[in-house]
Amino acid sequence: MRRQRWLVAGLAATVAVSLAACASSNRDSNTTTAAATTAATTSAATSAENGAASGSATGSEAPTSAEGSDTGSAGASSPEGSDTASAAPTSGGGGETDQTFTFGAAGAPSVLDPLYATDGETFRVVRQMMEGLVGFKPGTADVEPLLAESWDSSTDGLTWTFKIRQGVKFSDGTALDAKAVCYNLDRMYNQKDAGITQAQYWSDTMGGFKDQKDDAGQPIPSLYDSCKADGDNAVVKLTAVTSKFPAILGLPSFSIQSPTALEKYDANNVKAEGDSFVYPAYGTDHPTGTGPFVFGKYDKANNVVELDRNESYWGTKASPAKLIFKIIPDETARKQELQAGTIDGYDLPNPADWDQLKSAGFNVAVRPAFNILYMGINQKNNPKLQDLKVRQAIAYALNREQFVSSQLPEGAQVANLFYPDTVDGYTDDVTKYAYDPDKAKSLLSEAGATDLTLNFWWPTEVSRPYMPDPKSVFAAFKTDLEAVGIKVNESSKPWNGGYLDGVEAQKPDLFLLGWTGDYNTPDNFIGTFFTRSPNRFGTEQASWGKDLTAALKAADSQPDATKRNQMYVDLNKKLMGEWLPAIPISHSPPALVLSSKVQGITPSPLTDEKFNAVTISG
């Protein structure tokens, strides 16, 4: 979650779909044909194994790097096995209690309809209330059954049949069935106007919407063809083969929501107002899913979101009677509230505080590092940024080594590519940019850019897994840029109050952003970042922009794993040597911190923690 978006899918031999959001996918499918990639009769894994790469957050620390987790928690496998239903989820928390679990959130949810969300703070809340056709085993990115108890595909990989779990109801009493599932998928596909703009995870993964056209008036292809109810089965047809389906259906944005509530509260009525969007009552007050918690209220005056236990939940009922998300933008204030006992935990403690928190008896649960922080470069507004030498000068100017050692926790690494070395297509044989301010100055002189002035944005009211303290990140790199003669115009905006929208609108020259991986494929990272044109990097301004898009589409659509891997190796070499649309900064193992009294939370490399099993002792 993250937060990256964009993609235009292509069709058949001409369709390449970049699927990037919050799901899991095959890290090494070992397939040589499209049919094998989507193997017929691939069905839901039914193993009861919960021996994920990291244990309970209260029992021991998770690995501090993806390597330490044997890549199991970072990489997912397309589940294979018999067409057998899995057991219903259990809370593991020792039964229902009257307890309240209070979590310190770094920011407010942007909207409670996950179709229109892209940020982790929103998804953290939504994940407790809503479920998808597939989910992920706790502590991993491995796909497991959820609302679909099993599935299989046709031999050509274009038709997927999902057996819908019986006896499930949405929290408003509406029954879950195949028709409800198809209603949701069709609703996503049929978005219009502002809904298209905001349903970004659909465009990331499925491509176009119904009747959507590009600026040239040409239809934007979509991976999605149709969904039909056939008894207890939802039959989904695709327009192209992809090894990453059905994992994308585990993304929070693909949560299955109550058709009754969606219609009653006018869920699709999203309106653009200036640089922002106004959401209908469904997305602000009436989110309705099948999960272990139900929406209580969002008290904006007191910065509190409350969820109540779903007493009619189809699985084992949640242990806590109530969840409270207390919005505390300042990380120091979150730490103080944890120490005071007014919250039970919070995400992304400052790495500098980890030892102190551990010494004080708090549980610092470290996730595997499966992320990237990068400095985005937008080439649209400043022509000098279209010169590779200028972009390389910026890269050489950044003292990334010092930044990693001074601001990030043990286990963090300087990034040489736009994704971690546990992902396919990784190669060390790329152009690297070690800190060299003299070379930066020389390149700026060669490019005639010694008087370069850049508008550099950084976000407030947020802490991300890859960027625990944005202000400190900005300050470090501002100093580096000024040291080589680049003038920096600083601009800071709230994460959900102008920053993200401004970045998407291509307003800054430089910006800080990143991505926490959703599944272990290159496409989940670089396909998400760079496929769509136009994009936040302004690659459409570059002579090589179309080549980048075409290469990403071709690699994603290649069914042979060995060939696909080599295509990504070649892509990475060009990204770092010939194109450099942004500068990769670091991979950092994020953590969450909990009171010693809290049990029942498993840290996830996807930041996909569920709170239904939480118990509080003492």
pLDDT of the residue at 422: 81
* 484 and 512 part of one domain: yes
pLDDT value at residue 518: 81
pLDDT band, very low/low/confident/very high, at 21 (cuts 50, 70, 90): very low
The H-or-E segment that residue 489 falls in is strand 487-494
Respond yes or no on whether the N-terminal peptide bond of residue 368 is cis (omega within 30° of 0): no
Q: Which residue has the higher pLDDT, 497 or 178?
A: 178
Q: Are residues 54 and 138 in the same domain?
A: yes
User: Are 315 and 379 contained in the same domain?
Assistant: no
Residue 7's pLDDT is 33
Q: Would 198 be classed as within a structural domain?
A: yes
Tell me the percentage of the chain whose pLDDT exceeds 90.
Answer: 69
Q: In percent, how much of the chain has pLDDT > 70?
A: 85
Tens-digit pLDDT profile for residues 530-573: 988 889 999 998 999 999 999 998 888 877 779 989 999 999 99
The string of DSSP letters for 215-272 reads TTS-B--BSEEEEEEETTEEEEEESS--TTTTGGGGSGGG----HHHHHHTTTT--EE
Q: Is the pLDDT of residue 20 over 70?
A: no
Beta-carbon contacts of 475 under 8 Å, excluding residues fewer than 6 positions away, are: none
133 and 150 housed in the same domain? yes
In terms of domains, do 455 and 603 share one?
Answer: no
pLDDT band at 479 (very low <50, low <70, confident <90, very high): very high
Q: What pLDDT, on the 0 to 100 scale, is given for residue 343? A: 98
Averaged pLDDT for residues 204-210: 91
**Of 13 and 385, which is predicted with more confidence?**
385
Structural domain includes residue 22: no
**In this predicted structure, what is the pLDDT of residue 72?**
30
Q: 510-516 and 453-460: which strand pairing?
A: parallel
The answer as to whether 347 is a domain residue is: no
Looking up tokens 């292509």 gives: 10
Instruction: Provide the domain count of the chain.
Output: 2
Give the per-residue pLDDT at 258.
Answer: 98
Q: What's the pLDDT score for residue 411?
A: 86
Encode pLDDT of 222-274 as tens digits: 999 999 999 999 999 999 887 678 889 999 999 999 999 999 999 999 999 98
Q: Indicate whether 190 belongs to any domain.
A: yes
CATH of the domain at 259: 3.40.190.10
pLDDT band at 611 (very low <50, low <70, confident <90, very high): very high
- Angle of the 470-483 helix axis to the 388-397 helix axis, nearest 10: 110
Residues 316 and 384 in one domain: no
**Same domain flag for 569 and 581:** yes
Higher pLDDT, 346 or 10: 346
Hey, which bits of 387-472 come out as E strands? 413-414, 453-460
Confidence of residue 348 (pLDDT cuts 50, 70, 90): confident
Please report, for the domain that includes residue 579, its CATH number. 3.10.105.10
pLDDT tens digits, 130-160: 999 999 888 877 789 999 999 999 988 899 9
> Is 41's pLDDT higher than 80?
no
Does 329 fall in a domain? Answer: no
Q: Which domain holds residue 548?
A: 371-587
Is residue 28 scored above 60 in pLDDT? no
Q: Once rounded to an integer, what is the mean pLDDT over residues 486-496?
A: 96
Question: Residue 117 has what pLDDT?
Answer: 95
Cα–Cα separations (whole angstroms), residue 345 to 64, 320, 333, 460, 594 = 19, 14, 12, 21, 4
d(CA 246, CA 252) in angstroms, rounded, equals: 13
Of the listed ranges 136-145, 161-170, 289-298, 310-319, the least confidently predicted one is: 136-145
Q: Would you state the structure tokens that stand for residue 152, as one six-digit string? A: 């299989």
Same domain, yes or no: 519 and 599 = no
Where residue 45 falls among pLDDT bands split at 50, 70, 90? very low
Q: What are 374-422's pLDDT values in tens digits?
A: 999 999 999 999 999 999 999 999 999 999 999 998 889 999 999 998 8
User: pLDDT value at position 204?
Assistant: 80
Confidence band of 465 (pLDDT split at 50, 70, 90): confident
Query: Out of 15-19, 181-185, 289-293, which region has the weakest mean confidence (pLDDT)?
Result: 15-19
As a whole number, mean pLDDT of residues 523-532 equals 90
Contact predicate 166/232, CB 8 Å: yes
Q: Do residue 469 and residue 419 come from a single domain?
A: yes
Are 571 and 599 within one domain?
no
59 inside domain: yes
Question: How far, in Å, CA of 536 to CA of 4, rounded?
Answer: 10
On whether both 239 and 387 belong to a single domain, the answer is: no
| pTM for the predicted model, two decimal places | 0.70
Beta-bridge partners for 607: none
Q: Are residues 595 and 545 in the same domain?
A: no
Rounded to an integer, what distance in angstroms lies between the CA atom of residue 405 and that of residue 571? 29
- Asked whether residue 3 is assigned to any structural domain, the reply reads no
pLDDT at 49: 26
Determine the average pLDDT of the residues in 6-26: 32
